[in-house]
Amino acid sequence: MVYDLIIIGAGPAGLTAAIYARRYLLNTLIIGKLPGGMITEAHKVCNFPSYNYISGIELMKKVIEQVKDLGMEIKQEEVKEIKIQQNKDFSVKTGKGDYIAKKIILAIGRKRRKLNVLGENKFLGKGVSYCATCDAGFFKNKIVAVVGGSNAAVTASLLLSEYAEKVYIIYRKEKFFRAEPAWIKQVEKNKKIKTIFNANVKEIYGADYVKGLKLDTKEDLKVDGIFIEIGSSPDEILANKLGLKKEKGYIKVNKKQETSLKGIYAAGDITNNFLKQVITACGEGAIAASSAYEEITKKKL
């Protein structure tokens, strides 16, 4: 079977592209490792039209439900390779099968950055976490730390304060630069949260589970868990294999979401567009699907 379109990635960009592809009556397959994408880890989304606030997982459940109600197929698989065939169609290989498409949309997003410090890998799942939304409930009446200074870090600390006895935020700069003032204000008012500026974690230690952190300020913090929220980086593997042009690791696209390789489009956090938000990812997904439809229609004519 040859699909008109295969969308790789099942986050906001990929799922919105699927909704638009359905409106264009394109025979479409969605392939994604994580249904809903990284936004499912967000404690609160407060800037998406129609909701004063909504959790990331709840928002994406609604989108996934909409996609499935439209009869769209989502395969929870990981794409290993994309090859161009002689007739210019694309072969998409996963760990479970091979698929063929006329056009491809890459909506593969970003992956979590790691601290790369002693003990991080050893205590993963034993006090080290990258998802406060997933794991906050395990730290009721405990002491925890959050590393980072972005919206993700400050909102994670606010969520954790609902469970933990005490929350440290450890940030390498002298003040918050990347977080929105509204979130910072809430953190400053929260008596459970203590901010430690100008500090970096050098080691995570413990026995069977995390017991504490060593900072480069020579401070030793006794904590039961650490949540790492230091941002993310573009998932470059497929882009590199395809030889796509990039900018600082992100896939270069034009206003039609076209990449440097004809027939392949990109949308969402993987692109070199400036604002990395749910709403912009959705917009890019819509544009990518529209552009793919336009090219498919031209070829048929």
Contact between 281 and 268 (Cβ < 8 Å): yes
46 is catalytic: no
CA angle 115, 117, 122 (to 5 degrees): 105
Going by the DSSP 8-state scheme, the letter that residue 176 receives in this structure is -
Element (H, E) at 160: helix 151-161
Q: What is the pLDDT of residues 207-223, one digit of tens each?
A: 999 999 999 999 999 99
- The 10 Å Cβ neighbour count of residue 154 is 29
Q: Which residue has the higher pLDDT, 300 or 7?
A: 7
Q: Is 135 a catalytic residue?
A: yes
- CATH H-level superfamily of 2-112+232-300: FAD/NAD(P)-binding domain (3.50.50.60)
The answer to whether residues 20 and 289 touch, using CB atoms and an 8 Å cutoff, is yes
Strand, helix or coil for residue 177:
coil
- Kindly state the tokens that stand for 238: 């497929």
pLDDT for residue 24 is more than 80: yes
The pLDDT, as a whole number, for residue 235 is: 87
Residue 300: predicted pLDDT = 67
pLDDT at 170 over 70: yes
Of the listed 46, 69, 89, 131, which one is catalytic? Answer: 131
CATH superfamily of 128-228: FAD/NAD(P)-binding domain (3.50.50.60)
Q: Considering 98, 134, 216, 220, which one is annotated as catalytic?
A: 134
- Model pLDDT, residue 296: 94
Q: Does the annotation mark 131 as catalytic?
A: yes
Q: Ramachandran region of residue 9, left (φ > 0), alpha (ψ -120 to 50) or beta?
A: left
CB distance 37 to 12 below 8 Å: yes
Which residues does 202 contact at the CB level (< 8 Å), separation at least 6?
Answer: 117, 118, 214, 215, 216
As a whole number, mean pLDDT of residues 5-20 equals 98
pLDDT digits (tens, 9 = 90+) for 269-301: 999 998 989 999 999 999 999 999 999 998 766
On whether the CB atoms of residues 173 and 197 are closer than 8 A, the answer is: yes
Of the residues 69, 98, 135, 269, which is catalytic?
135
Q: Which two tokens stand for residue 22?
A: 């359905």
CATH 3.50.50.60 segments of the chain? 2-112+232-300, 128-228
pLDDT of residue 301: 60
pLDDT given for residue 1 in this prediction: 87
Which pLDDT score, from 0 to 100, does residue 47 have? 84
What pLDDT is attached to residue 299?
73
| C-alpha–C-alpha distance, residues 301 and 230, integer Å | 49
End-to-end CA distance of the chain: 21
| pLDDT number for residue 111 | 86
Which residues neighbour 29 within 8 Å (Cβ) at sequence distance 6 or greater? 3, 5, 6, 7, 73, 75, 99, 101
| Percent of residues, the chain, with pLDDT higher than 90 | 82
One-letter amino acid at 91 equals S
Highest mean pLDDT among 53-57, 148-152, 224-228: 224-228
β-strands 225-228, 232-234 pairing? unpaired
Residues 6+ apart with CB under 8 A from 152: 42, 229, 231
Gap between the Cα atoms of 176 and 181, Å rounded:
9
Cα 228 to Cα 230: distance, rounded to the nearest angstrom: 6
User: Over 80: is that where the pLDDT of 140 sits?
Assistant: yes
Q: State the Cα–Cα distance between residues 169 and 87, nearest whole angstrom.
A: 54
Instruction: Report pLDDT for 218.
Output: 94
pLDDT at 83 over 70: yes
For residue 2, is pLDDT > 90?
yes
Residue 117 confidence (pLDDT): 96
The length of the chain in residues reads 301
Mean pLDDT of the chain: 94
Cβ of 208: how many Cβ atoms within 10 Å?
Answer: 8
Q: Is residue 177 over pLDDT 90?
A: no
- Asked if pLDDT for residue 43 goes beyond 80, the answer is no
CA distances from 79 to 1, 30, 93, 237, 258 (A): 18, 11, 6, 10, 20
